[in-house]
């Protein structure tokens, strides 16, 4: 514990030295905000932000915690992520049965106990997700700083949800993505749809697989019409081509 405290102090010292000539602000965490959305708004790497602020688990931020944002001039409003309450596990009912009367056995056979084998993790089927649009991939996952795919389409092309889920964000408050929609599919997977001309779903809405959620547009920086698409496993972006048919 003491070693972790010393490391945290060292990190803050390094940040102070590295940002001596750069402005910085403190962002106070509010209910519903995550390190992921905070990093997107301030256009800074999520893992770097967690490291310099001593955040062990980026998915669990304490309300009221002050997050140091190096390089920022002013504090910015951060959108609130809608969280779905986890369902309560069903209660198990234990049925008590009376033991059967023992039978006299002259030569009882030894009981052979079978060894339980651990269940194997089933890989995600490529049938779980569908393509949000049809078009040519003009930027691949991992190309430069790209965390997803960029797909060329005509302006106003309907963008479909890649799988059924709940919309946890719909807006334009995250820098660099224009109108953005984020859909949560279960406790593990999220999909991200950016560069939209218009979003047609709101946060909190449930969408089915293939349902229209937006109309395509252009990146905020300009250029050709395209759709930005991410698949995330937890908070980690993964290559969509590994999950799409």
Q: Residue 213's CB: how many other CB atoms inside 10 A?
A: 22
> For 120-145, how does the pLDDT look when each residue is reduced to its tens digit (9 = 90+)?
443 455 668 999 999 999 999 988 88
Q: Element (H or E) spanning 182, and its range?
A: strand 179-184
Q: What's the pLDDT tens digit per position in 89-112?
A: 555 555 555 666 555 555 556 565
In the CATH hierarchy, which top-level class contains the domain 136-242?
Answer: mainly beta
What is the distance, to the nearest Å, from the Cα of residue 144 to the centroid of all Cα atoms in its chain?
20
Beta pairing partners, 171? 180
Domain range list for the chain: 2-70, 136-242
The three-state secondary structure class of 235 is coil
CA distance 203 to 42: 21
Domain 2-70: give its CATH code. 3.10.350.10
Residues near 233 by beta carbon (within 8 Å), at least 6 away in sequence: 188, 189
pLDDT in tens, 45-96: 888 888 888 887 777 778 888 888 888 888 888 887 655 444 455 555 555 5
| Same topology between domain 2-70 and domain 136-242 | no
Per-residue pLDDT at 161 exceeds 90: yes
Q: What is the value of pTM for the model shown? A: 0.55
**What is the overall mean pLDDT for the chain?**
79
């Amino acid at each position: 514990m003491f070693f972790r405290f010393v490391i945290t102090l060292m990190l803050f010292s390094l940040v102070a030295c590295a940002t001596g000539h750069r402005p910085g602000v403190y962002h106070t965490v509010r209910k519903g905000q995550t390190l992921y959305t905070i990093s997107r708004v301030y256009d800074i790497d999520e893992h770097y932000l967690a490291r310099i602020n001593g955040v062990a688990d980026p998915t669990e931020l304490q309300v009221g915690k002050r997050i140091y944002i190096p390089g920022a001039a002013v504090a910015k409003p951060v959108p609130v992520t809608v969280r779905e309450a986890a369902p309560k596990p069903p209660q198990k009912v234990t049925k008590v049965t009376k033991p059967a009367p023992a039978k006299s056995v002259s030569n009882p056979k030894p009981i052979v106990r079978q060894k339980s084998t651990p269940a194997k993790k089933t890989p995600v089927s490529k049938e779980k997700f569908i393509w949000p649009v049809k078009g040519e991939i003009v930027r691949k996952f991992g190309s430069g700083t790209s965390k997803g795919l960029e797909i060329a389409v005509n302006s106003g092309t309907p963008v479909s949800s890649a799988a059924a889920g709940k919309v946890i964000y719909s807006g334009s408050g995250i820098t660099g993505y224009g109108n953005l929609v984020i859909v949560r599919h279960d406790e593990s997977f999220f999909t991200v749809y950016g560069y939209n001309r218009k979003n047609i779903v709101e946060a909190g809405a449930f969408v089915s697989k293939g349902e229209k959620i937006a109309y395509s547009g252009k990146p905020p920086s300009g250029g050709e019409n395209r759709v930005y698409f991410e698949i995330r496993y937890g908070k980690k972006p993964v290559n969509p081509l590994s999950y799409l048919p």
